[in-house]
Amino acid sequence: MNPFIGKRYNSYNEYFKRTFGQRVQKVSIDAGFTCPNRDGTVGTGGCTYCNNDAFNPSYCQPQKTVMQQIDEGIEFHKIRYRRALKYLAYFQTYSNTYAPLARLKDLYDQAMAHPDVVGLVIGTRPDCIDDEKIEYFAGLAKQHYLMIEYGLESTSNKTLDLINRGHTFEQTATAIRKTAMAGIKTGVHLIFGLPEETREEMLKQVEVISSLPLTTIKFHQLQIVKDTVMARQFVENPAHFSLFSLEEYLEFIVRFIERLNHGFVIERFTGEVPPRFLISKPWGQLRADQVAVMIEQEMERQDTWQGKYFGKPAES
């Protein structure tokens, strides 16, 4: 029996209503960070799929102050999300804990000083977190809403190496467990369709992911973005990729979700990239919220829901 009221999955919007009593919207911030797989610490070139221009809102520019980006972001979102009255400052671009703690404190304090900001969401990598930072975040989480979001992308170390992440899945799992044990809300980002991963391998990841102590999870279908290493690889050898058509993705994501830990809050099912950035075929003009409706309709048609087969083998 479906345990979710009004939905067939653990909805991010409903989670915020339970947490804050109202709709809350994230406002992205580009604080000028880089990543250790860009600056030579563990590698160069960054993740092979990454072109931040493809998802960074126009108001996010590191030369602007944190406060200015928040103000402009609120105005930007008022057009689309008129019901949102409070906001989360989302440190999104690159690795947002990749700096000395003193600099991080200054940036986060600036964001929390905004009168309409009620918390922080911080995107980062497992090799940019240490015990000192976790201790600081644990104290911050006792006073404010705080989410640390890790780029998991895949549980396969072979895949992580192919996409030049510069760390292993085991490092990510360790960072997730340490973060959650410290009382900090913890989320991950996962990409489906990465090179040389079969659909069966992608589906089986649900068993490992469901065992992690996560608060939220975010899914993206792989899209090939211009001006990336992956774009060149795709042109040279498209057979190494398993890109999803819309129909294939609907079928796959339903199978994945019905095996997913029902306690995880699903933030999003798909990613959006403006068509002008893509060399892969986009799904028409569909927005992420429209695809989410289609996914839920498919779940209703199949009379399934998040976690219906949680704990059962993926091939069942």
Q: Return the domain boundaries, the chain.
A: 12-301
Residues 6+ apart with CB under 8 A from 253: 192, 219, 269, 295
Q: Mean pLDDT over residues 59-79, rounded?
A: 89
CA 194 to the chain's CA centroid: 15
Per-residue pLDDT band at 155 (split at 50, 70, 90): very high
Per-residue pLDDT band at 1 (split at 50, 70, 90): confident
CATH architecture, range 12-301: Alpha-Beta Barrel (3.20)
Integer Rg of the chain from CA: 19
Residues 6+ apart with CB under 8 A from 70: 27, 29, 87, 89, 111, 114, 116, 117
Structural contact between residues 269 and 288, judged by C-beta atoms closer than 8 angstroms: yes
Q: Where are the alpha helices (DSSP H) in 163-228?
A: 169-181, 199-210
Tell me which of 46-55, 122-131, 173-182, 226-235 is least confident.
46-55
pLDDT digits 0-9 by tens, 209-234: 999 999 999 999 999 999 999 999 99
Q: Using the 8-state DSSP alphabet, how is residue 56 labeled? A: S
pTM: 0.93
Structural contact between residues 257 and 306, judged by C-beta atoms closer than 8 angstroms: yes
Of 113, 252, 224, 77, nearest to 163 by C-alpha is 224
Residue type, 132: E
21 burial (CB, 10 Å; 0-12 / 13-18 / 19+) is exposed
Write down the pLDDT at residue 312.
Answer: 77
